[in-house]
Structure 1
């Protein structure tokens, strides 16, 4: 009998974990709890994907590290740049930053059936009153995709807090918007498409590419303005190929984020080394600004 695929084995191990999820504050992974909510785009909602302990832990990590104004990826240069279309604040965690982050990453891999290495580091976001992210695509249209990992194929959006009013994730072009009833508890923004309310612990998985790897134009989505309360979320972008196996040549040492110099000046190289500096396994994104490009050999032996 052939051995099960690694990700299937991971899912089985998560399902068979003792107690609520094999460790304190965790949840048991059960793929049958993910309901399909849209087929154009393909989207699935998993209620209770994260425990309250896990949600609070991710928020605490972000507050401890400090938040910066969110940016968007420029389609031509591939750089992250400020934009009035996105008014939240955020920060990135390191992969496998601690036991809880590692457990969540494993659960995401089991649900999506994509290896952990295909995912970007998890981004924690905070939306205050009136803050939003206007409708956009997660694939980067127009950018030559020899970039790390190729296109983003899927997004897992995890809600870390409840929001009294607003803050919905809206898909303006989803065919499901025609059949979704809404009452006075939905914001005007949510009325413009198929929407998902932010509920603490729930997770939304949607795909930006069709199964044939072409762009899914129906995957246009945005974060509605927060009207009352505060919205915290965690985003995991997943690529079609490994995002970790990136070629790093010391002679071409460059920052991979436009805000690296600012973050370095604020001491993030020491406070958030997993993202800024990286390790021997996963190089960081701000090696130039952190002055760690000292070797004359390629990183990871490449």
Structure 2
């Protein structure tokens, strides 16, 4: 296949789309739809081209060991059911990870502390408001109370990853119309603020999204690259790992807008090393 040449017009168009607020993934997909090869699209977006250096994969990531049937996982203080498992990316959907009482306890203690959700500013390493994320949230400190400690210990056993390698549990509330557009959870190695972020515990290598309350309609967690939609259900969770901080991880995901009711989730991000 003949290589495609980047033109100034194409580069100007890409810059204009990003400035308007489209994500790199959306622009990448638009270029593919227009007939551009992936290598040229990556190059236009400043992403690695085939054969170029890409981030080194993490030496280890959290992992799940199901029982012989593949339907249950020992989480220490309880057995968790497996609703779905995929290997590209490594993704598991769990049932009954949290009890109703645990969900309600997390929500009740979090509600007075909720504020408009921020995202990491990868240019500076700080935080910023992002129009792609319209939820309200808060962070528990690790081991903040008995319920949080119990859940963290369960997650550590479930995912074979030390408690200290996890960020604090984040609780998020999505009201009607609130969403989080598709994004990656890892920190982009090519951004100037990433080095400062990684000093706190290395790269993120996995995410666990736990559903504390399902909305009446909408709010599914979507994975566009693999065509998966996970419907929120109280007590259930979706886990996915990403050894490589790159779109090749296939971990692009987002939260669809809530149409009716409220969605509450608790997210646990896991790092390579102890998070400080």
Shift of 1:214: 6.2
Unaligned runs of 5+ in 2: 1-61, 67-72
Report the more deviating stretch, 143-152 or 220-229: 143-152
1:61 correspondence with 2:95: no
Partner of 2:96: 48
Partner of 2:232: 198
Question: For the aligned residues, what is the CA RMSD?
Answer: 2.4
1:100 correspondence with 2:147: yes
TM-score, normalising length: structure 2: 0.68
Partner of 1:165: 217
Partner of 2:38: none
Q: How many residues align?
A: 202
Q: Runs ≥4 in structure 1, deviation > 6 angstroms?
A: none
Change in CA separation of 1:35 and 1:209 when aligned onto 2, cut-off 3 Å: farther
Partner of 2:202: 150
Normalized per residue, the structure richer in strand is 2
Partner of 1:182: none
Q: Does the aligned pair in 1 maintain the 2:95–2:237 contact within 8 Å?
A: yes
Partner of 2:4: none
Take 1:243 and 1:29, find their aligned partners in 2: how far apart are those partners?
Answer: 27
Q: Does the aligned pair in 1 maintain the 2:74–2:158 contact within 8 Å?
A: no
- Of 233, 254, 259, the residue aligned with 1:222 is 254
Shift of 1:40: 2.2
Unaligned runs of 5+ in 1: 1-6, 22-27, 178-193, 245-302
Take 1:146 and 1:98, find their aligned partners in 2: how far apart are those partners?
Answer: 27
Shift of 1:36: 4.1
Shift of 1:161: 0.5
Q: Does the aligned pair in 1 maintain the 2:75–2:157 contact within 8 Å?
A: no
- Of 22, 34, 42, the residue aligned with 2:82 is 34
Q: Deviations over 1:44-63 (max 9, x none)?
A: 01101000000000000111
TM-score, normalising length: structure 1: 0.62
